Each structure stands twice: as structure tokens, then as C-alpha cells.
Amino acid sequence: MEVYKSPEYLVLHLKRFSHQRQSFFSSRKIQELIDFPTESLDLSQYVLDKKDSKNPLLYDLYAVSNHYGSLNGGHYTAFCQNQINRKWYEFDDTEVSKIDPSGAVTKAAYVLFYKRRNSLKK
């Protein structure tokens, strides 16, 4: 993977569904745990614009979209960090509960939202 210039926000979509071309019925959900960092994701080695990568390009996770269920149906929840108090919360329909940051890493993680640490405002 190569990125020309580092973005302020980084959104990573995890492949959670596998499809076979031969048959519609051979599609399945991928449920392996992908261990991703909640802090200090370093993209320095992937950025081509060297003037932009003089310092480590560190990203911190601020939200996760989760999918539970199968290809035929399911349920979405989210884990989000409050930017004021830096606490993590789980959002599930009408319920919100506090979680430990490590609780954001699950087999249900589907989309990851990162913000560049110390990003410059333009």
C-alpha cells in the first residue's frame, strides 16, 4: 500500500464478506479478529511525499462501526470516543454505555475511523 500524502482523517473499511463468482450461495461473512491499534497507528513507511513524513505519521482511533449477523441480515453498532472527556462509548440503538478502549477491538469491527495526531489545520 502507498499513500501520496497523509490525510487528516483516515477511514479503513475491513473486508468482512467473501464472495465466490460461481455461486451466490457461496458468500460468507469473515469473522476473524483483526487486531488494530486504538492509538499510534504509524503510516510513515507508506507515505510517498517525504516532506509530509518527516515526523512519524501517527493516527488515533476515534470510532468503529461494527456489523453483527450475516450477509442476509444483521445489526450495526458503533464504538466512539468522546473528544471532550476522551472516554469510549458503545452505541447500540437506544442504549449508550461506557467501555474500555480495548473493548473497541472486536471480531465485529467493519469500518475504522482514525484522526491524524497533531494534524495541521489549513
Q: What's the average model confidence in pLDDT over 7-16?
A: 87
Total-model pTM: 0.82
Asked if residue 38 has pLDDT above 60, the reply is yes
Q: Is the pLDDT of residue 122 over 50?
A: no
Could you list the beta-strand ranges (E) of 24-108.
28-29, 41-42, 58-70, 73-81, 88-92, 95-99
